[in-house]
């Protein structure tokens, strides 16, 4: 028996290719994901109360955030490059800061969660002949990436409001 057996994961080439193909299909579906997200978010009372809010304002930096999230989801958990996760966190942080200027935190969290639902829908919609284990693996990565994105966006929102409180003298 080789001493390295059981330590280094053995690559499952067909499964890896299927995962790469599925991740690519989801990225190709990003326009649909964003359109579905926009329709879902536009129905929130806070956005319906703003009829002057244009679609491009609603979406703001969402295409960039979605792209960073999809990149991070498509990276194998065995890769050592943390850049895709860091980029997704940074984009979510920037989004949280922008939203903090205009919307309550529950709206921010709702839109991040709605985006996660739409990406999850895309995973299952595009899975077709992919083994369920591969879909589950992508879904687990999706949860990990969105946990980071939600935490980053919310933290930025809170930071922005804490900074505003300090500037106006409202801090406790």
pTM given for the model: 0.83
The pLDDT-based confidence of 113 (bands split at 50, 70, 90) is very high
- pLDDT exceeds 60 at position 172: no
Number of other residues whose CB lies within 10 A of the CB of residue 171: 10
Residue 95 domain-assigned?
A: yes
Whichever domain contains 110, its CATH number is 1.10.490
Residue 123 domain-assigned?
A: yes
Residue 5 domain-assigned?
A: no
Residue 162 domain-assigned?
A: no
Mean of pLDDT over the chain: 84
Structure-token pair, residue 130: 């992919």
Q: Number of helices (H) and strands (E), helices first, in the chain? A: 8, 0
| Count of structural domains, the chain | 1
Residue 48 domain-assigned?
A: yes
Distances (CA, A) of 1 to 5, 6, 10, 84: 7, 10, 15, 37
Residue 29 domain-assigned?
A: yes
Task: Show the domain range for 140.
Answer: 13-152
Residue 6 domain-assigned?
A: no
Mean pLDDT of the region 112-134: 91
Which pLDDT value is given to residue 21?
84
DSSP 8-state class, residue 130 = S
B/e letters for 73-90, b = 16+ CB within 10 Å, e = fewer, are bbbeeeeeeeebbebbbe
Residue 102 domain-assigned?
A: yes
The pLDDT-based confidence of 8 (bands split at 50, 70, 90) is very low
């Amino acid at each position: 028996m080789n001493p390295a057996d059981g330590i280094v994961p053995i690559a499952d080439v067909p499964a890896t290719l299927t995962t790469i193909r599925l991740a690519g299909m989801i990225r190709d579906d990003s326009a649909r994901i964003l359109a579905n997200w926009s329709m879902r978010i536009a129905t929130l009372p806070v956005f319906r109360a703003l009829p002057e809010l244009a679609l491009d304002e609603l979406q703001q930096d969402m295409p960039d955030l979605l792209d960073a999230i999809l990149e991070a989801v498509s990276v194998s958990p065995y890769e050592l490059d943390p850049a895709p996760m860091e980029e997704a966190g940074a984009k979510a942080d920037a989004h949280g800061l922008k939203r903090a200027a205009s919307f309550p935190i529950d709206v921010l969290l709702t839109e991040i969660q709605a985006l996660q639902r739409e990406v999850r829908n895309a995973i299952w919609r595009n899975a077709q002949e992919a083994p369920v284990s591969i879909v589950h693996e992508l879904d687990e990565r999706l949860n990990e990436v969105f946990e980071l994105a939600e935490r980053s966006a919310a933290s930025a929102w809170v930071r922005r409001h804490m900074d505003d409180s300090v500037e106006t003298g409202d801090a406790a």
